[in-house]
Structure 1
Amino acid sequence: MDFINEVEGKRLHDHRPTRRTRVPGPVIVGAGPSGLAVAASLKQRGITGLLLEKANCVASLWKHKTYDRLRLHLPKQFCELPFVAFPANFPAYPTKQHFISYLETYAEHFGLRPLFNRTVVGAEFDGGCGLWRVRVIGPPKEEEEEEVEFLCRWLIVATGENAEAVVPKVEGMGDFAGPVIHTSCYKSGNEFSGKKVLVVGCGNSGMEVCLDLCNYGAHPSLVVRDSVHVLPQEMLGTSTFGLSMCLLKWLPIQVVDRILLAIADLVLGNTAQYGLKRPAVGPLQLKDSTGKTPVLDNGAFAEIKAGNIKVLPGIKRLMRDCVEFDDGKVQNFDAIIFATGYKSNVASWLKHSNMFSEKDGLPMEPFPDGWKGENGLYAVGFTKRGLLGTSMDAVRIAEDIHRCIVKAESKQSIKSLCSSIL
């Protein structure tokens, strides 16, 4: 690692040997799509960043915590990282395996070499030296884990919105006798064949898991507590997302929402009569204001209409082999799957930051201004706008750091010139 200069060694904790290391370039926390995108954008400008990843591979969420049937919900042209397109022979909606292959090839193309098995346990800005102190626990070295404190001018948070699984607290959770898992642990419906499975959460993951369970002969039910927009994945022979982007170039968002909902009603029918009541705000307006993504249906709604997926209200409590719902009804189930999403973990390790909310670990400034903080702190992958937002922020961050370097070099050149004249 010739881009890192070790400056001194010390022991921060009695039980763990620690090194302090100066990094000339940025430190990037997270080697998922966001971290790779910003590292590649920096490389394009001749800047080498230090990528830290707590897992043993790039895109660990995609590799280890997604179900087998997962595909990108948007067409591939809207999911590309900067400078590299998907291969032409990939399908319009790449599979999980296609996307992982794309990310691995992307990292190899730009020569990105993350430090794996490195967990960031703390980071804070030191005003005295004008640098970020990033404390990292590394892989076991002999019998002890090594701790390193990296000192850097720029810190890029690329752990994203989906760092940790969210499982709500439900009364009686420990009483239920069957398996209770999060979708991060779900692979396929094969192990649930013939069983009654309750899926909690009606987003894209919840709907897809229900469809997958149907395909394996299970009997899924879906908990729907809130209103939700369900749109067909494609409209008028093109992707719903692509059609939306095209219409937004010419029409106000409220008008585009009315068009999308009119087409959705023609294609799907009245979703409310099947327990999926639409929000009062249109799908694009809702996404823009809250980040809540509409469900892009690829078959699950047909199973709901056919009665193969039951829609149920919120859960009141769990019992040994059954569930009581908010309407007072009780039903038996063999397993429960929580499709309740993920959350940021930034607040647990980034200290004294005015950029991220301590409540949810997301940037306090909304898109498109949430990518830059103070003292060389940046965020990528927190836009709630998927990989399009990630790519936009990655390029902005690289441009901003490049400007800082050029400005510093210019000042140094002027200073040297003045010294030589004097």
Structure 2
Amino acid sequence: MFDFEGDLAPIGQSTVSLLAATDIFFEESYWRDHLCFSWDFHTWRGPEEMSSFLQKLGHGCRFRRVSIDNSGDPDKRPALVSADHYSNIRGVQLYIDIETIPERGRAWWKAFTIYTGLVELRGHAKTIGRRRRSGHIHSLPGTATESDSWQRRRTAQKNFEGDSQPTVLVIGPGQAGLSAGARLTPIGLGDCWRTRYLRLVLHGPVWYNHMPYLPFPVSWPVFAAKDQVAEFLEAYGQLMELNVWSSATLKRANCDGSSWEVTIEHHSEEGGIEVRTLRTHHIIQATGVNGEPKIPRIEGLSDFRGHICHSSQFSSAEPATPTKQIVVVGTGVSGHDIAQDFYGRGHHVTLVQRSPTCIDTTAYVYGQGLYSEDGPAAEDADFLTHSVPLPLLNRREIEKTDQHMIENKEHFEGLEKAGFRVDRGPDGAGRKFKFLQYAGGSYIDVKQGAVARINLHSLLLDDGTKLPADEIVFATGYSSMLATTRKIIGADFTRQLKEVNFALCRYYSKILAPQIKAIEDGIMRYEDL
């Protein structure tokens, strides 16, 4: 019989051996840890890897308290669940609360997998909910001034007046940048942003895309419009009291080893252009998972007499007066959206598909499982989602993709007959895993093949097909996010960074904020990562 608290107790004691890991876990089992037991992200497979880590840990982290979650939340009660899509593997899922020395965390314990994650630093609780600030302003008799008003204090904070300096500089005020700021502010850290562009379109359902602390309204559509989201993000920054600098350009960023000196040019509230030099301990790049727009090098590109642009430069199609021959190269989401825009305006449009595309039907992403109208709160859904080790998630997604292809057989066969090649993703694990591994690749005439050459008024494909064209739009993706990093902080520092595969900002901003707070308070060092 598995004695929950008894079997976990050896982890908190001075002697860490195999601690009966072989008795607790199957030979194929997983422990996924996000900052609860170390200051980095880990997934250990099997009792041997787990024991090896615990032996290295030694006295570094011990339990102060461990107990089954007793919050009363019905979504967190112990329950019989499936570890795979077809319910062939059944197990008990339950939540546990962990308090270590010196942190607090939460874990999802199963006989097959365990996930531990940092919730907050002890002594640095977020000022939210029952711990919210009072909001009162107290002045000595005869000392009250206009500077005591909330509006004046916010202006001073936003402009970093006097000797005030930002602890964290967040570059990019989109969904990720604002999420990072919202996570940092309740634990006592300041931040500011510079704007590059707002081009957010939600291709996932509304339940999946909520912002921290302030979810989208219950009256919103399942798939929110770009401008609708942009207005919400602008209001979000104001309501969350985030120090957002819009219409700003980062001119220079230099690191002296302990802090960054950054020069920013931005439009002041008076309407003029102001150049400020700030010092900050941390820079968060939140400019999007994509880097710079990528157009393939094609012979004859400069000879084309019509209009050429990348999908990132496209705004909208003009009415067909007269009708034009439009060629869109690339069949991802942007390629289809742009082709549909031209088609709706009355133009003749051809999509050029260079390689198979991984797709899902709209119904498949409409709201299912954890992220749905009847699902748990978004942050609880995040906790469950990120607790699943990638090998197990891969197995589930292969099974789900198989079922999806069978249930929508006529749909996919129709696409193939129309000349559209469908990709099942890496190992047949579908669109989600294609994005996780490659960050992309996600009916109007469709032509197969690569573009071999561009002539004065046409494209020539590698199979000899000639496509007349008045305009060409390349929906061919972007370079690595590090290409943008190079522009911001230079090549030397960028070489030290790892490639970014994906960013789910609501969850990872929650993890990043206490990491930065721990560095600021001397609990950890960058070298510990």
Q: TM-score, normalised by structure 2?
A: 0.58
Structure 1 residue 6 displacement after superposition: 6.3
Structure 1 residues 364 and 114: CA distance shift in structure 2, 3 A: same
Query: Which residue identity does 1:120 align to in structure 2?
Result: L
Alignment size in residue pairs: 342
Structure 1 residues 32 and 231: CA distance shift in structure 2, 3 A: same
Q: Which of residues 281, 286, 293 in structure 2 aligns to 1:165?
A: 293
Q: Which residue of 2 aligns with 1:230?
A: 359
Query: Which residue identity does 1:275 align to in structure 2?
Result: G
Assess if the C-alpha contact under 8 Å between 1:90 and 1:98 holds in 2: no
Q: Which of residues 437, 449, 473 in structure 2 aligns to 1:337?
A: 473
Q: Which residue of 2 aligns with 1:292?
A: 440
How many Å separate the matches in 2 of 1:5 and 1:26? 16
How many Å separate the matches in 1 of 2:369 and 2:420? 19
How many Å separate the matches in 2 of 1:259 and 1:183? 33
Q: Which residue of 2 aligns with 1:26?
A: 168
Q: Which residue of 2 aligns with 1:316?
A: 452
How many Å separate the matches in 1 of 2:403 and 2:193? 44
Query: Which residue identity does 1:228 align to in structure 2?
Result: T
SS of residue paired to 1:197: strand
Q: Which residue of 2 aligns with 1:372?
A: none
Tell whether 2:420 aligns with 1:276. Answer: yes
Structure 1 residues 99 and 117: CA distance shift in structure 2, 3 A: closer
Q: Which residue of 2 aligns with 1:123?
A: 253
Assess if the C-alpha contact under 8 Å between 1:220 and 1:310 holds in 2: no
Q: Which residue of 2 aligns with 1:14?
A: none
Higher RCO (CA-CA < 8 Å; seq separation 6+): 1
How many Å separate the matches in 2 of 1:236 and 1:80? 15
How many Å separate the matches in 1 of 2:516 and 2:365? 43
Structure 1 residue 96 displacement after superposition: 1.3
Structure 1 residue 85 displacement after superposition: 0.9
Q: Which residue of 2 aligns with 1:403?
A: 518
Q: Which residue of 2 aligns with 1:19?
A: none
Tell whether 2:276 aligns with 1:113. Answer: no
Q: Which of residues 221, 226, 229 in structure 1 aligns to 2:350?
A: 221
Q: Which residue of 2 aligns with 1:298?
A: none
How many Å separate the matches in 1 of 2:447 and 2:394? 37
SS of residue paired to 1:317: strand
Tell whether 2:411 aligns with 1:267. Answer: yes
Q: Which residue of 2 aligns with 1:134?
A: 262
SS of residue paired to 2:250: strand
How many Å separate the matches in 2 of 1:81 and 1:114? 16
Q: Which residue of 1 aligns with 2:399?
A: 255
SS of residue paired to 1:324: strand
The 5 Å alignment of 1:139-158 reads 147-158=275-286
Structure 1 residues 138 and 212: CA distance shift in structure 2, 3 A: closer
Structure 1 residues 241 and 166: CA distance shift in structure 2, 3 A: farther
Q: Which residue of 2 aligns with 1:207?
A: 336
Structure 1 residue 335 displacement after superposition: 0.9
SS of residue paired to 1:120: strand
Structure 1 residue 112 displacement after superposition: 2.2
How many Å separate the matches in 2 of 1:383 and 1:160? 11
SS of residue paired to 2:243: coil
Q: Which residue of 1 aligns with 2:502?
A: 384
Assess if the C-alpha contact under 8 Å between 1:254 and 1:285 holds in 2: no
Q: Which residue of 1 aligns with 2:193?
A: 51
Structure 1 residue 113 displacement after superposition: 3.3
How many Å separate the matches in 2 of 1:277 and 1:174? 30
Unaligned runs of 5+ in 1: 8-21, 295-302, 366-381, 409-422
Tell whether 2:330 aligns with 1:191. Answer: no
How many Å separate the matches in 2 of 1:262 and 1:31? 41
Q: Which residue of 2 aligns with 1:42?
A: 184
Q: Deviations over 1:27-59 (max 9, x none)?
A: 111212211111111122232212233x5xxxx
Q: Which residue of 2 aligns with 1:364?
A: 498
Structure 1 residue 188 displacement after superposition: 2.8
Assess if the C-alpha contact under 8 Å between 1:30 and 1:159 holds in 2: yes
Query: Which residue identity does 1:395 align to in structure 2?
Result: K
How many Å separate the matches in 1 of 2:205 and 2:439? 19
Percentage of pairs with the same residue: 21
How many Å separate the matches in 1 of 2:181 and 2:215? 17
Q: Which structure has the larger Rg?
A: 2
Structure 1 residues 266 and 204: CA distance shift in structure 2, 3 A: same
Assess if the C-alpha contact under 8 Å between 1:52 and 1:115 holds in 2: yes
Assess if the C-alpha contact under 8 Å between 1:200 and 1:339 holds in 2: yes
Q: TM-score, normalised by structure 1?
A: 0.71
Q: Which residue of 1 aligns with 2:233?
A: 103
Assess if the C-alpha contact under 8 Å between 2:394 and 2:433 holds in 1: no
Q: Which residue of 2 aligns with 1:83?
A: 213
Q: CA RMSD in A?
A: 3.4
How many Å separate the matches in 2 of 1:75 and 1:132? 38
How many Å separate the matches in 2 of 1:153 and 1:242? 36
